[in-house]
Chain A
Amino acid sequence: EADIYQTPRYLVIGTGKKITLECSQTMGHDKMYWYQQDPGMELHLIHYSYGVNSTEKGDLSSESTVSRIRTEHFPLTLESARPSHTSQYLCASSESDTQYFGPGTRLLVL
């Protein structure tokens, strides 16, 4: 079982604020992913990284940005939060094709 952590677990914030969602893993996995999950349950890939200094956009367009300066760390940033960003954000990591998920961050933008 992979150890992957996300902070904060819950965040309520006002429109226009800048936020950073943290994701870290202790497995030394090269690949990391960010998913957005709405109440309708479906998971949508918004960003992924195959290693340090590598980031790509996923299948679902997102106004968020990511960085990968260290192997274990893959933060997601929203420069100006809006109510439409309200969702659950899930981080995952993998060594090969098996992905392990963190507990998620539930974001509410007022």
Chain B
Amino acid sequence: GENVEQHPSTLSVQEGDSAVIKCTYSDSASNYFPWYKQELGKGPQLIIDIRSNVGEKKDQRIAVTLNKTAKHFSLHITETQPEDSAVYFCAASFFGNEKLTFGTGTRLTIIP
């Protein structure tokens, strides 16, 4: 089955700087890669996703890049703000098997 590794497990970034979280996956059939943000006491919220037919997707300060050859994808947050502090999860799945395999999470702390 699919295996998703996520790094780092914790990340502290000065407010205004950029943050990058990386994930690798094992199953070359995977073609859907969402990113979730989970704030304290809440459920995970989808913030951005990418499918295997594109290499990059941006939404304001958030971007995701995908390298199918190397089987890794990354979340980039620019101009970080205190409200970006949360736990971020990557995940992977492939069409026809909509069960997501999640990474182990990254706790991001933005230092004011």
List the interface of chain A (C-beta within 8 A of B).
Answer: 6, 31, 33, 41-43, 45, 48, 58-59, 90, 92, 94, 96-104
Let me know if A42 and B104 touch, CB within 8 A: yes
B residues 35-93 in Cβ contact with A at 8 Å = 36, 41-46, 49, 87, 89, 93
In the complex formed, the residue of A with least CB distance to B106 is A41
Question: Interface size (B, Cβ < 8 Å)?
Answer: 22
Let me know if B104 and A41 touch, CB within 8 A: yes
In the complex formed, the residue of A with least CB distance to B43 is A101
Shortest CB distance B3–A (Å): 11
Let me know if B100 and A99 touch, CB within 8 A: yes
List the interface of chain B (C-beta within 8 A of A).
Answer: 1, 32, 34, 36, 41-46, 49, 87, 89, 93, 95, 98-100, 102, 104-105, 107
Shortest CB distance B98–A (Å): 5
- In the complex, what distance in Å separates the CA atom of A104 from the CA atom of B41? 8
* The residue from A48, A98, A101 contacting B99, defined by CB atoms under 8 A apart: A48
Let me know if B43 and A102 touch, CB within 8 A: yes
Given contacts A96-B98, A97-B32, A97-B95, contact A43 B89 (CB under 8 A): yes
